[in-house]
Structure 1
Amino acid sequence: MRGGTSRAVFFAENDIAKYSSEDKNKIILTALGSPDPYGRQIDGLGGGISSLSKVGIIGKSSTSGIDLTFTFGQVDVRTPIIDWKGTCGNMMAAVGPYGIEENLIKTRDPITKVRILATNTSQLIEAHISVKDGQYQVEGDYAIAGVPGTGSPVKLDFINPSGNTTGSILPTGSPTDTIQISPNKTISVSIVDVTIPVVFVRAEDVSADITKFPPDLDADTALQSLLETIRVHASQKMQLSNGVDNSLISSKAVPKVVMIGSSTSYQTSDNRYIATHETDLCIRAISMGLTHRTIPATVSMCLAAAANINNTIVHDTIGDAMQGPLRIGHPAGVIEVGAEMKQVGGSWQAKRITTYRTARRIMEGSILVPLSSLG
C-alpha cells in the first residue's frame, strides 16, 4: 500500500498472529529485504530508504468505538531491526481504504468515517474516506508534494495526540532546552511530543543549509553525526534512553530530529520553484539516520502543534504571523497541517491535528519467505 509519501507492506492481523514474535519479525525482515548491507533491499519489497521500508499489521477491532487496529513497524534497511515504538501518519491514510477493500468495515456513501487505533502509541485517529457504491474511491483531484499524479483525499484527524510517548506535550516541561554537545558547545532545541516525539533544532545552529537536497545533506557525515548526537541527548532528557552513548538509545525511529529554518525560496526535488511567501517555514527531517525525502506526516503534525506553543524554536521561527494551517516547506514541496490547541492552567493540550493525504493499493498477493530465514 502507498499512504501519503510512504509505502508499506500490509499484513492481515489474522494471517500473522499465528507466528511467534521472533518468527513474525523474521518474516517481515525477509519480506522487505532486510538486512541489506548494500542499502537497496534488492531481495525484498522495501525501497532502500526509511519512507519505503515500512510494515503495517491491520486488524478488525473488537472494541466498541474502534473499527480497525494499526500496528506499525519501521524496518531498518541495513540491520535486522524493526522499530515498533512509533506510528506513521502517512501510512495511516492507507489503513481505512485497506479496511474497506478487505470488507472489514461497513461503508456509507459519500464519506465513511473510520476510527483507527494506532496500537504502538494508543492514538485514536479518525479517517474520512471517499466512498461510492460501497467502494473506496481511489481516483480524485487532490495532489500532495512528493507523489506524482492525484488521488482522492483522505482526511486524517488525530484526536488528543498529546504526549503519547512521554506523557506530556513538553516532555522536559520547557519549550526550549539546551544540549551540551561538548565542553565548549551548546545547542538550543525544542522537544515536543504530539503524535511523535520530535527534537527541533535551528539549521543555522548546526551550520546546515535548509535548502539543500537530502542526498547532499546525507553526504555531510559530520552534520549527520551531530544531529544524531543531539537526538540521543534529547532522548535522555525525555527519559527514552539510559545515557548519551548511542548504543543506549532504544529506538532509531523515536525521537525524530528536525532542522528548522525561516521561510525562503528553494528548488524542490522535482525541479519546481517554491517562493518565500508560499511557506511559513522550511524543514529537513532526519529519519533512521538519513534525511527524509519529504516529511514524515507525524512530524508535520508535531510541527503544527509546536508552532502554536510560545517560545518553542518553531514558534519563534515563524513569529505570530501564522494564520490558518501551517505551511511547511520540505524537499518535495509544501504540506499544510492544522492544529487545534488549547492551554489549560499553564499546560498545553492538542485537541486535534488534521492533515490530508492520498492512498492506493499497489498490489496484493503472497510473499515467499524461504524456510531458512526462520531458522
Structure 2
Amino acid sequence: MPLAIPYMHFRGGSSKGLFFLKKDLPEDETLRNQYLISAIEGTTLGDSRQIDGLGGGSSLSSKIAIVSPSTIPEADLDYFFVQVQIGKGKVSTLQTCGNMLAGVLPFAIESGIIKASTPTTSARINMVNTGGICEVLVQTPEYQVQYEGSTKIDGVVGTSAPIICNYLDTIGATCGALLPTGNSIDVFYDIEATCIDNGMPVVIMRASDFGLSGYENILELEENSALKQKIEAIRLIAGQKMQLGDVSQQTIPKMCLIAAPIQGGVVHTRMFIPHVVHEAIGVLAAVSVATACILPDSITTKIANFSADSALFSIEHPSGEFTVNLDYLIKNQEVIIQSSGVVRTARLISKGEVYIATS
C-alpha cells in the first residue's frame, strides 16, 4: 500500500517544486531522501522525463523545500532545500535555492505554522543548507496570502504580487569565504575565472575566452559538447580550490559566462547549473555575480557597467534581467556586503497528498 504524504506545489520565482512540513517526513536522512526521490521521480528512477512522478523533467521543476518552525532564536522558520538530480535517483543538499525560498513564507502561512498579519507578513528564514538568514515579506491583506499582482519577473509568465527577500550574512555561506580560493582571479586550463560565494558558489568566466560572444541562445550552447566538456573540467578543479571537495556528483559550483551588457544592465550572463544552460539565472547566483562586479580586479573588470553610487545591479540573462539590490561599502579595498535584496514572486499551484512507493 503506498504511503500518502501531504504536500503543496508552489512556483517560486523561475523554479517550482514540492513543499513539505518537516514533521511529515522521516527523520532518517536516507529514508527521507528515498521518499523525496519517489515523489519527484516516481517508481521508475532514472527516467529523465519523470512521467511517473511530480517532477517536470527539468532541474528547475524538480526541487523540494522542507519547512518547520526554526530551531534557532534568530529565525522564525527553518528551510531545508533538496535538489533532485533528474534521471539519477539522487539528491543534492549542499546548496540552497533562492527561487524556492520565495514560496517558504506563503507555504508556512497556508500550513498554519506562521500566523498572517495584515496588510503584510514578514519572517526571518534560516536557510539550513548554508546557514544564512533571509528576511522575507509577503502581501497578506485580510490575513490571506495574496498571489495576484503586477510584479513581473523575467523568465516567469504573467505577473504576481511581490515578495521581498533581504539576504543577510550570505558571504561565504557554502565555501566559507567570499573568495574561497583566496584570489580575485584564478586560471584553470588557461581560462581566467573569479570563484565567488555570496550565497551561491559560482565560477565566473569571460565568454570571449571560449571563442563565444556570450549572447548565444540556449540551444546553441546546449549542443556545444566541446564547450560543456571544457566547462565541466574547469568546474571539477574549481570545486576543489573552492573548498567543496569532489563536486563530480554535486550541482555546485554553478558556472557563469559573462559578456558586456546589451540591454542597459550591468553584465550579460549565460549560467550553467551546472550541466544545463539556465533559461534565466538563479536568485543567489545573481547575487554572487552582482557582488563580483564590485570587486576590484575581478573577472568582471572592463566588462561590467555600473554606477559606483547605485545599489541596483541589473544582471542580464537569456530571458531578460534580474535586479539585485546590494547594500555594501568598500573599506580599505575590502568589500563589505551588509545585505542583498531581491524581489521574487510565488504562486500556490496545488495541494494534496503524494503517494510514495515504499517497495
Under a length normalisation based on structure 2, what TM-score does the superposition of the two structures give? 0.92
Q: Which moved further from structure 2: 193-202 or 286-295? A: 286-295
Work out whether 1:311 is the aligned partner of 2:309. Answer: no
Aligned partner of 2:39 in structure 1 is 31
Q: Alpha-carbon deviation of 1:166?
A: 1.7
1:280 is aligned, of 247, 263, 266, to 266
Gaps of 5+ in 1: 242-247, 265-275
Aligned partner of 1:255 in structure 2 is 253
Matches within 5 A, 1:325-340: 325-340=312-327
Tell me, yes or no, if the aligned pair for 1:240 and 1:250 is still in contact at 8 Å.
Answer: no
Measured against aligned partners, the alpha-carbon deviations of 1:274-314 in whole angstroms (never above 9, x if no partner) come to: xx3x3222101011411011111110111121111111112
2:219 is aligned, of 209, 215, 220, to 215
Aligned partner of 2:279 in structure 1 is 293
Q: Read off the aligned partner of 2:63 and give its amino acid letter.
A: K
Partners in 2 of 1:239 and 1:132 — Cα distance?
A: 45
Work out whether 1:187 is the aligned partner of 2:173. Answer: no
Partners in 1 of 2:160 and 2:75 — Cα distance?
A: 26
2:111 is aligned, of 85, 102, 123, to 102
Partners in 1 of 2:149 and 2:224 — Cα distance?
A: 39
2:66 is aligned, of 57, 70, 73, to 57
2:159 is aligned, of 150, 156, 176, to 150
Measured against aligned partners, the alpha-carbon deviations of 1:120-143 in whole angstroms (never above 9, x if no partner) come to: 000100001111111111111101
Cα RMSD over matched residues? Answer: 1.7
Q: Secondary structure in 2 aligned to 1:31? A: helix
Q: Secondary structure in 2 aligned to 1:327? A: strand
Measured against aligned partners, the alpha-carbon deviations of 1:173-196 in whole angstroms (never above 9, x if no partner) come to: 2211111x2xxxx01000111001
Measured against aligned partners, the alpha-carbon deviations of 1:156-180 in whole angstroms (never above 9, x if no partner) come to: 000121111122111122211111x
Partners in 2 of 1:118 and 1:209 — Cα distance?
A: 36
Partners in 1 of 2:159 and 2:137 — Cα distance?
A: 17
Q: Read off the aligned partner of 1:116 and give its amino acid letter.
A: I
Q: Alpha-carbon deviation of 1:221?
A: 0.9
Aligned partner of 1:367 in structure 2 is 354
Aligned partner of 1:273 in structure 2 is none
Q: Read off the aligned partner of 2:344 and give its amino acid letter.
A: R
Tell me, yes or no, if the aligned pair for 1:283 and 1:329 is still in contact at 8 Å.
Answer: yes
Aligned partner of 1:272 in structure 2 is none
Partners in 2 of 1:312 and 1:341 — Cα distance?
A: 17
Q: Alpha-carbon deviation of 1:321?
A: 4.0
Matches within 5 A, 1:54-203: 54-179=63-188, 181=189, 186-203=190-207
Q: Alpha-carbon deviation of 1:84?
A: 0.3
Partners in 2 of 1:88 and 1:39 — Cα distance?
A: 21
Tell me, yes or no, if the aligned pair for 2:76 and 2:124 is still in contact at 8 Å.
Answer: yes
Measured against aligned partners, the alpha-carbon deviations of 1:338-359 in whole angstroms (never above 9, x if no partner) come to: 1122344554332100100100
Partners in 1 of 2:333 and 2:290 — Cα distance?
A: 19
1:205 is aligned, of 202, 209, 221, to 209
Tell me, yes or no, if the aligned pair for 2:46 and 2:89 is still in contact at 8 Å.
Answer: no
Tell me, yes or no, if the aligned pair for 1:194 and 1:302 is still in contact at 8 Å.
Answer: yes
Tell me, yes or no, if the aligned pair for 1:169 and 1:348 is still in contact at 8 Å.
Answer: no
Q: Alpha-carbon deviation of 1:110?
A: 1.6
Partners in 1 of 2:45 and 2:318 — Cα distance?
A: 26
Partners in 2 of 1:291 and 1:250 — Cα distance?
A: 17
Q: Read off the aligned partner of 2:354 and give its amino acid letter.
A: I
Give aligned-pair identity as a percent: 31
Aligned partner of 1:268 in structure 2 is none
Tell me, yes or no, if the aligned pair for 2:41 and 2:89 is still in contact at 8 Å.
Answer: no
Tell me, yes or no, if the aligned pair for 1:76 and 1:288 is still in contact at 8 Å.
Answer: no
Q: Which moved further from structure 2: 74-83 or 206-215? A: 206-215
Q: Alpha-carbon deviation of 1:370?
A: 1.7
Partners in 2 of 1:256 and 1:371 — Cα distance?
A: 33
Tell me, yes or no, if the aligned pair for 1:161 and 1:351 is still in contact at 8 Å.
Answer: no
Q: Alpha-carbon deviation of 1:53?
A: 1.1
Measured against aligned partners, the alpha-carbon deviations of 1:218-254 in whole angstroms (never above 9, x if no partner) come to: 111111111111111111111212xxxxxx4265211
Q: Which moved further from structure 2: 30-39 or 332-341? A: 30-39
Gaps of 5+ in 2: 1-9
Distance 1:63 1:238, change over 3 A: closer
Q: Read off the aligned partner of 2:297 and give its amino acid letter.
A: N
